[in-house]
Amino acid sequence: EIGKLSASLSRSKNEIKDLKHALSSVKNTIKIMDDIIFAKDQAIITYYDGFRSIKPNYIDNTIEPAIFYEKDAKNLWNGWHDDTKDDLNIRKKYTFRTRV
């Protein structure tokens, strides 16, 4: 009976060790994906700003403006930015500038 408990405890410790390793791997993958998304967003913003310098009247409503002319618009974008942690569809649809 003690041998079975000891074996079970040993298996459980190994499973915990494996789960910790898997969790660490997932966290690393998430960080890499966040870095890729950030780089993509910055590239989009750079091209958009360049395009806007040539054609200032063009506005893409899915890219966060560099300057807000209305308080409501700034609040709306801040809300979307805060909600991206919980709703990945927002992250897919909109491009956000870097928060300082």
What is the chain's length?
100
Q: Which distant-in-sequence residues (6+ apart) come within 8 Å of 93 by Cβ?
A: 62
Q: Which distant-in-sequence residues (6+ apart) come within 8 Å of 84 by Cβ?
A: 90, 91, 96
Question: pLDDT tens for residues 34-69?
Answer: 999 999 999 999 999 998 888 888 888 899 998 888
The domain spans of the chain are 2-93
Alpha carbon distance 67, 5 (integer Å): 65
Report the mean per-residue pLDDT for the chain: 91
What is the reported pLDDT for 59?
85
Which two structure tokens, joined as six digits, stand for 18? Answer: 């494996």
pTM: 0.65
